[in-house]
Amino acid sequence: MKHFFSRHSLSGVLSLLFAVGICLNVQAASLPTKQIELAHHHFTVEVANTDAERERGLMFRVHMADDHGMLFVFPDVQPRYFWMKNTLIPLDIIFFDAHKRLINVSANTPPCKVDPCPTYGSTAPAKYVLELNAGMAAKLGLKAGDKFTIL
């Protein structure tokens, strides 16, 4: 029985996958970062403040350091809904109002495994949404009204 890939085509496929991985990492690294403080802990967050950046979010990431996250900044205040399509790691999705006060948390939000993906929303109009690794909100003891600060 013949192998489907020859050595040459297999190395081409591997090269393509490597190049795609580099592109994904370059795109992720190109977002501006900020330091924030939440519940006396500092986090380095990538800031997603354009439609394209917010749409991509943390898709295709296989790991995120415990002291990292992504801060979604919206131009207006309204109910926000997030989904986990193509997101590979479970997250806490934390919704904040225009005054950076915590509204609610979608804790331990799992990656989407079915289509259509479920959505997770704010319980009141939000301007900011912070994504951290799953379990971090509980670890920090976050509660409604807590504020974050951009350092």
Give tens-digit pLDDT for 109-133: 999 999 999 999 999 999 999 999 9
**Per-position b or e across 111-131, b if 16+ CB within 10 A of its CB:** ebeeeeeeebebeeebbbbbb
* Residue 78 lies in domain: 32-150
* Per-residue CA distances from 2 to 6, 8, 13 (Å): 9, 14, 18
- Structurally, the chain folds into a number of domains equal to 2
Q: Do 38 and 95 have their domain in common?
A: yes
Q: Do 42 and 23 have their domain in common?
A: no
Contacts of 105 (CB under 8 A, 6+ apart): 92, 93, 94, 95, 137, 142
pTM (whole model) above 0.85: no
Residues in the chain where the model's pLDDT stays below 70: 1-29
